[in-house]
Structure 1
Amino acid sequence: MVATGAFAPGHLGELTRIIPFEMVDAVLESTRAVQARVRALPSRVVVYLLLAAVLFAELGYEQVWARMTAGLAGVPVADPVSSALSQARRRIGIAPLRALFDLIKGPAAGAARWRGLLVCAIDGTSMFTPDSPANVAAYGHAGGGNGPSGYPMLRLLAVVACGTRTVIDAVFGTPSVGEITYAPPLLGCLGNDMLLLADRNFAAADLIGAVAGTGADLLFRCRNNRKLPMTGRCGDNSWLTRIGTTTVRVIAATILVHQSGGPARTERYLLITTLTDHKRYPAPELVSLYHQRWEIETSYLELKSTILGGRVLRARTPDGIAQEIYALLVTYQALRIAITDATVTTGTTADRASFSIALNTARDQLILAAGIIAGTTIDLIGTIGHAVLDHLLPARRQRTCPRIVKRAISKHRAKGNIDRNSYKITINITINSG
């Protein structure tokens, strides 16, 4: 079951149920990007082409089009050349994709909560763009100890709901602007009953005050040598201090990690939080909870490695890059919603769902043009959800592995003599007094 006429190729397989025709038509109408007349490539079809291209990041747009139309046997469809697809993408511009992201972003049902608080994390990452003059002018080559980067880079900063890894909001731009500068526009997505996790880079006084001003709570890590004078004591060895205009609780912890088959190691954490009630929010639980910040790193892995396969983005202009980034975020969010719908329905934790299984099943459904419109008997889980549930990952285990360069600079010699094994671990947490 597909749309009729020239609109037939406009679909995303089963993911069309999450991004339906009505939603795409609404954003096109609101951004005044609807075609003046029905062409061989209507605007709705072009939006779905951009989203489908995310599922097939290794293919050119003509090959993506071939997969969108492969399951439309007996339906007359256009056969556009590459230049026609390029002109169509430029015609609709950035605004419809940005508006579509605004509609679909946010925490999915079942996002992780701790003591009634929605747990989310903020962090940034970098992505590479094609080495065109326009992209170089917009983003530049990032410098480093080994010289400038081979491709222009952009910075992406996002707030992600832990557990479901759905994107609550995101911004991106030139890497010459730091994460702290990009962060304030994202704070509008925060509110009461939310807890924001962040690493040491975000523990600036102005940003801490801005986060607290939204009504959300925070749990940030600080540098271990940061001076945080005591203004009050709590009953669990944590203490109160002032950072700017905000009163925060300081938790200094020593974490002893016992590795099976490897040496034990010790780490020190210095955490600050606006959760000042030590009885309601025990310090050892907050230290353990901080580990959830790594959920956003997994989200970036899924975006950059699982979907893009480590490739640079496609577009050779900044406007095209912006359009592509929003398409990437929208499609990623749709996949994550499909996963969450399946896991919540069956009471399974979302971290046991395989993102690769969901991605590959969504590709298959698009090629088959299957599941676009739900039948009279509605399956809330769908083909993607059933595939995920049929191949659940093992329950998460406590393991450790050193942070290393996974891909050596030289193919002939790995960088350093590093033990690359993962070890099962047990953890002991000690809260130190100030």
Structure 2
Amino acid sequence: ASYEGVPLSEHSVITRVITVAKGVFAPGHLGELTRIVPFEMVDAVLTETGRTQQRLRLLPSRVVVYLLLAAGLFAEVGYLGVWDKLVAGLGGLGLTRPSATGLWHARVRVGVAPLRALFDLLRGPAAGIRTAGVWWCALVVTAIDGTVLDVPDSSGNATGLGKNRSQHGTAGYPQVRLVALVACGTRAVIDAVFGTRSDGETSHALRLVRSLHTGMIVLLDRGFDSNTFLAAVAGTGAQFLVRLNGNRKPPVLARHHDGSYTSIIGGVRVRVIACEITISTTAGTRTGVYRLATTLLDHRRFPAFEVVKLYHERWEVESAYLEIKSTLLGRRVLRSPVPALIAQEIYALLTVYQVIRIAIADTADAAGGVDPDRAGFTLAVQTARDLIVQAANVVAETTIDLIGTIGRHLLDNLMPERRLRVSPRAVKRPLSRYAYKSLGVDRKSYLATLTIDILAGQPALTDQADP
């Protein structure tokens, strides 16, 4: 057969060169994301933690680390299924498929320390000086909040983590409480801690104080307004903006022209802003009164109205949790039946999330100031998965491609500028799917208009959920 004079064979064959590590190390990769987590980095954390294999095995420690990271991208399959994804593009290398028992023992051999060390190397705001949306008045905007992750209902997890009570009796799964410090502009994880749910969010959050410093402002909801915690945050040199509980009655020390007033909370001098926020949609109007306290004391440099607008950035940490729990995990329970391996799995999940966020931020910077909010996290995950299956772009070429295949896909499919939308809070996994029909709960998302009025005079009490 021929086409425009060019002879064609009966079958067309497309060949490509795959560059990976040699021998049994070949399955140890993360597709194009390997450039962010290179072999040398993984080998370094294994050496540092003393987890390099004593003899060369079918599953070298480096391969196990990449397997654990890849598992964070393929939550729908077991570890053997993840192995199959890693070797799908490596046909002809004669690789032997391990057994499920072999993978279990390999995970136990590697342990949690290398994954924790890898996360410590990669965590951070993933932002440059000119990254859009990261800075506010020369401060890096961050937020702290917590969530819970479901883990398998095994005897080991139930004993080590406990099971919570609910209105229907004992909860279905043991849970781990995760509390993270997130950069709002990039949604990258600056630090994260986790532990039993019996310890509250504030108790866990005290361990995040180590990552706060001058040049930051941290946004907090009203669950974090304890005197001890706010004093600890202020002691780091970081600024804070926190929503106050309704039972607080801070003294009025001085009033300012912008409607705010100076007060003191837990020995920390703050400025309190009371405001009324109205959200208008086609479904109606809702108004609430809110009080915020901040260590930004200069009302001329930081007007009350601008500070209230900044507080809405706190929801970026909620979006980060949505991406971890819904996009990566697909709302699934974690895999590991024992708490020690749960910790390993969580550090691997946080690390792969951070790697994707770094890839998105690098793309935004290389493209000349694109806001990272316009890059689709789901698209980045899907592209990263495809490149793992193809074993593509594992090793960088001589000429470094700063954007890469993932970045080009993101730039070709940028989302529009964010619009203000609201949606009623609702349980995403109800015990009964019929409850919404009987209760008439509206779960639609609406375009909204936001009105902010600063309340001067006698301070009002907080009476609504977070705006």
Take 1:53 and 1:409, find their aligned partners in 2: how far apart are those partners?
28
1:395 corresponds to? 417
Say which SS state the counterpart of residue 220 (structure 1) adopts: strand
Say which SS state the counterpart of residue 108 (structure 2) adopts: helix
Instruction: Kindly provide the amino acid, as one letter, of the partner of residue 9 in structure 1.
Output: P
Q: Does 1:430 align with 2:449?
A: no
Instruction: Give the C-alpha shift of residue 146 in structure 1.
Output: 2.5
2:32 corresponds to? 14
Instruction: Kindly provide the amino acid, as one letter, of the partner of residue 367 in structure 1.
Output: V
Take 1:54 and 1:258, find their aligned partners in 2: how far apart are those partners?
39
Take 2:431 and 2:63, find their aligned partners in 1: how far apart are those partners?
42
Take 1:147 and 1:63, find their aligned partners in 2: how far apart are those partners?
35
Take 1:80 and 1:292, find their aligned partners in 2: how far apart are those partners?
46
Equivalent of 1:145, from 138, 149, 167? 167
1:410 corresponds to? 432
Instruction: Kindly provide the amino acid, as one letter, of the partner of residue 144 in structure 1.
Output: S
Instruction: Give the C-alpha shift of residue 51 in structure 1.
Output: 0.5
Instruction: Give the C-alpha shift of residue 49 in structure 1.
Output: 0.6
Q: Does 1:362 align with 2:380?
A: no
1:328 corresponds to? 349
Take 1:128 and 1:307, find their aligned partners in 2: how far apart are those partners?
14
1:296 corresponds to? 317
Instruction: Give the C-alpha shift of residue 413 in structure 1.
Output: 4.0
Take 2:421 and 2:329, find their aligned partners in 1: how far apart are those partners?
27
Take 1:272 and 1:151, find their aligned partners in 2: how far apart are those partners?
37
Stretches of 4+ moved more than 3 A in 1? none
Say which SS state the counterpart of residue 264 (structure 1) adopts: strand
Take 1:225 and 1:171, find their aligned partners in 2: how far apart are those partners?
29
Instruction: Give the C-alpha shift of residue 239 in structure 1.
Output: 0.5
Equivalent of 2:66, from 26, 44, 48? 48
1:2 corresponds to? 20
Unmatched tracts of structure 1, length 5 or more: none
Instruction: Give the C-alpha shift of residue 407 in structure 1.
Output: 4.0
CA-to-aligned-CA distance 1:187-228 (integer Å, 9 cap, x gap): 111101100001000001111110000010000001234211
1:92 corresponds to? 110
2:308 corresponds to? 287
Instruction: Kindly provide the amino acid, as one letter, of the partner of residue 406 in structure 2.
Output: I
Say which SS state the counterpart of residue 195 (structure 1) adopts: strand
CA-to-aligned-CA distance 1:111-167 (integer Å, 9 cap, x gap): 611011000000000011111111001111111222221011110000000021000
| Residues 224 and 268 in structure 1, CA contact (< 8 A), matched pair in contact too | no
Instruction: Give the C-alpha shift of residue 408 in structure 1.
Output: 3.9
2:233 corresponds to? 211
Instruction: Kindly provide the amino acid, as one letter, of the partner of residue 221 in structure 2.
Output: D
Take 1:427 and 1:19, find their aligned partners in 2: how far apart are those partners?
42
Take 1:79 and 1:265, find their aligned partners in 2: how far apart are those partners?
58
Matches within 5 A, 1:148-187: 148-187=170-209
189-198 vs 340-349, which moves further: 340-349
Equivalent of 2:54, from 36, 41, 55? 36
Take 1:78 and 1:393, find their aligned partners in 2: how far apart are those partners?
42
Q: Does 1:313 align with 2:331?
A: no
Q: CA RMSD in A?
A: 1.2
Take 1:418 and 1:64, find their aligned partners in 2: how far apart are those partners?
39
Take 1:257 and 1:292, find their aligned partners in 2: how far apart are those partners?
16
Take 1:258 and 1:72, find their aligned partners in 2: how far apart are those partners?
55
2:217 corresponds to? 195
1:130 corresponds to? 152
Structure ID, larger Rg = 2
Normalising by structure 1, we get a TM-score of 0.98
Q: Does 1:276 align with 2:294?
A: no
Identity in percent: 54
Instruction: Kindly provide the amino acid, as one letter, of the partner of residue 31 in structure 1.
Output: T
Take 2:275 and 2:384, find their aligned partners in 1: how far apart are those partners?
44
Unmatched tracts of structure 2, length 5 or more: 1-18, 459-467
Instruction: Kindly provide the amino acid, as one letter, of the partner of residue 360 in structure 2.
Output: I
Instruction: Kindly provide the amino acid, as one letter, of the partner of residue 55 in structure 1.
Output: L
Q: Does 1:76 align with 2:94?
A: yes
Normalising by structure 2, we get a TM-score of 0.91
Take 1:27 and 1:47, find their aligned partners in 2: how far apart are those partners?
10
Take 1:406 and 1:101, find their aligned partners in 2: how far apart are those partners?
29
